[in-house]
Structure 1
Amino acid sequence: MIALILASTALLIQSEPALSAYPLLDPEAQARLEFCEVDAARFDALMALNPQSFDQDFSGGWRPVGNTSGCERAAADLLIAYMDHSPHFNPERPGVIGWHAGQMLAMAGEAELAIAYFDAARSVSPEWNLYVDATLAFMRRDRPAAEAARAELATLRPSEEEMAARRQFLADNPRIRMPEGFVEQPENLAVVDRLLRCWDAPYADAYSGACRG
């Protein structure tokens, strides 16, 4: 009998819906999200996604919000909320979710906040960390540091295995356009080149290359 009671109690606990984190957001974040058509129900659905679906689905997750003009700050709110509230986010394996939060903050003109998230997104990869260094140098308007990071990054050529994986990625995703040199260049070198070429432009324009440089 005791075992049955315990089992029934466990079943009830498991069936209870998770509490929404939406009310925990500050009113300004809620207003930004609602402006960008993210209500409490959509917010909860996004928080329930696994990290791959939330961050890497180009037609779902946070990206449709981030790709909507004027909603960059709301996208940052989503990314930060996911790190703070999603039961699926593992801070020991954060991936690039924090980096994307920095990007959205930078595109929204929140430079100081963006720098903090960029700097916290370092990993064990020297190649990635040089990209971080170059981006931070751009945000801090330190061109010599950006050029030094670019020069070192350019020496880290991808392996044959990595180039083969990139070719396969392009074959499997014909609708995704990658920059010229994607297969044979060090990862993110093209992005760093755009930052240098568009040095005086806002981050959003420099990152996309939408400048006259």
Structure 2
Amino acid sequence: MKISTLSLLEELERPEYAAMKKAFRRRRYVKGESIAFPEASQNEVFVVAEGRLRVFRAYEEKEFTFAVLEPGDIYSSHTGAHVVALTDGVLLVTDVGTFHREMMETPAVTQAMVRVLGGLLKNAFQIIDGLVFSDSTTRLAAFLLAEARGEPEGPVVRLSVTIEELALHLGMSRQTASTLLADMGRSGVIRKLGRGVYRIEDPDRLGGAGALMIPGRTALHAM
């Protein structure tokens, strides 16, 4: 679920970026802490040094996750989204004005920010498409296929989130996510190898999850 392949932490360790690194101050946070919210007045830019953060918007009683920020990801608090800590961790924080000045001298920061924003936009469209056009099974199947990585015995998904966090990301209940994973396992489409690790046994059937038939059910259309 990482939204950028470029780690700004690695870039900041390079000698030419020493000035940029000095512009950030370290800030510790704890699991469940609100890092940013729509009504916040401060405009800050931060890099995740340790831990993970969830970026989401809330509408009425529903929450829609746009991204999970991991070490090396960069984000700005003035986007109007909620940012909540999924774990304890550390941020590198600076104000927007300082960031803008330093960014002019540090191309890697601009590149990282563009990738993060692009990832957020992509996730936003995927959420909209899923809510409008797809049921829960299709959303989960698409996520598993997108996260799968090739290994000698087949594509494997190694979840970096809990089932509850996965459910929030996909806009469904925890019970629905757990039930769908269990049903996919019983059908032989996926196999659980360990905690949070699944091998996709039949990518073609998973890709056609909208019509996936499970013994004892008419179809996987739980919402």
Relative to total residues, which structure has the larger strand share, 1 or 2?
A: 2
TM-score (norm 1): 0.28
**Per chain length, whose mean CA-contact separation is higher, i.e. which structure has more relative contact order (CA < 8 Å, sep 6+)?**
2
Structure richer in helix, relative to its length: 1
